[in-house]
Amino acid sequence: MERTLILLKPDAVQRGFIGDIISRFEHKGLKLVGLRMLWISHKLAENHYGEHAGKGFYDGLVKFIKSGPVVAMIIEGDDAIATVRKMAGSTNPKEAALGTIRYDFGMHTGRNLIHASDSEKSSEKEISLFFDVDEIIEYDKNEDSWIYEKDE
């Protein structure tokens, strides 16, 4: 099973969408294996957004992600990275597909509620920035057989 990092940004936390967003992933059949709430330090923000350093929007990204508490989570499931990104929607909520998190709850690119890893490589890096190995919980869910068809 694939894992991906999701950050519920300060706007999602302040607007009370934590439960709604987690429920969407669980209802889809994805499994929550890591969860924590934190204030992101300047150093962590720079490490997380390092690929954008030097771009015009970089300082705003770093400032915003530090502006309030963030919920970091690890979601696990078949094709989890692509599934979560599709559920999150386009970076610009005005361009996001109907029914996505950003379409349903967002209004502006700078306040788009959620970060989701975009590849296996970035997922591994981002998970290691926000979680220690012992904070990732391995467990079986009874509903897995109702979600995933097993090859026989």
User: Active-site residue numbers?
Assistant: 115
Phi, psi values for residue 118, rounded to 5°: -105, -5
Retrieve residue 150's tokens: 């097993």
**Spatial separation of the C-alpha atoms in residues 115 and 40, rounded to whole Å:** 14
* E strands present in 67-107: 70-77
**Which residues does 70 contact at the CB level (< 8 Å), separation at least 6?**
7, 8, 9, 10, 13, 37, 38, 39, 40
Strand locations in the chain (E): 2-8, 31-38, 70-77, 114-116
Rg of the chain, C-alpha, whole Å: 15
